[in-house]
Chain A
């Protein structure tokens, strides 16, 4: 025997919708496919580790590609982030040294023009280096996020469709209210 009932999880109001309500609505819409994939487990596997969801679905080649791309991007991100931090530290060190030289001039300490120019050039070179390494770090970051996102999208697209599961949540929205309904079957 199969019965069903509905439970209202949302809110109803006649006031003007707050700014955050559309954000919540979009988030709830995003939860619908996630809920549909919950029983299979591939979605959560890919959510945890890229490629494992594809492996769970039996697509080993795609799993290897996603996992390899994620590892490469992750390692590249880690290395480039460390190098970027080192470049920033070097830039700040050179900057402090130059500032100390200039402060010394104000207090009557002698500094050679060669040393001032050398410190200034080193500071600018360190800043350029930090800029370059920041570009690399962000490139690896974009790569990792892209791989992660494509991995999620891929596992969703290849998810076997189960209409009974997909219809567990429904959303009814208009200008005055947003109604989220969850159906229970037993």
Chain B
């Protein structure tokens, strides 16, 4: 009897039936940067240049460095999209754009080549 009562109680308690999904609102997205190029290499910093197809929705950019294992780490954020100096000496850089809704685009990688 206890088992039967337990199973009936179990059936009566649907735990997720009343849960609604979290709706994602309409977000302003920014295009990912393109053509990330290291223009200048000095002993202490790199100068980066990149382009975006439509910068009107871009609030700022985020610059990442990459270690030798390919793991990205945040290095700097900037509102400029060219000639940005980064004081991190790594061979691979990544740049992403952040929209006015604070949504970050995918990261575009650029490789520093020694001239």
Contact = CB atoms under 8 A, between A and B. Distances in A.
B58 to A, nearest CB: 12
SS of A interface (majority)? helix
Contact of A105 (B11, B14, B22, B101): B101
A114 interface: yes
Given A134-B16, A141-B10, 9 more contacts: A77-B7, A81-B10, A85-B15, A92-B16, A92-B19, A112-B103, A113-B103, A141-B7, A148-B4
Interface in A136-184: 137-138, 141, 144-145, 148
A113 B102 contact: no
B95 interface: no
A113 B106 contact: yes
A99 B24 CA distance: 9
Interface of A: 47-48, 74, 77, 81, 84-85, 88, 91-92, 95, 98-99, 102, 104-105, 108-114, 116, 120, 123-124, 127, 130, 134, 137-138, 141, 144-145, 148
A123 B21 contact: yes
B27 A124 contact: no
Nearest to A144: B7
20 contacts: A84-B15, A85-B15, A88-B15, A91-B19, A92-B16, A95-B22, A98-B24, A105-B102, A105-B103, A108-B102, A110-B98, A110-B103, A110-B104, A111-B102, A116-B24, A116-B103, A120-B24, A123-B22, A134-B16, A138-B11
Interface in B72-115: 96, 98, 101-106
Question: What 5 A-B pairs come out closest when comparing CB atoms?
Answer: A112-B104, A88-B16, A98-B22, A105-B102, A88-B15
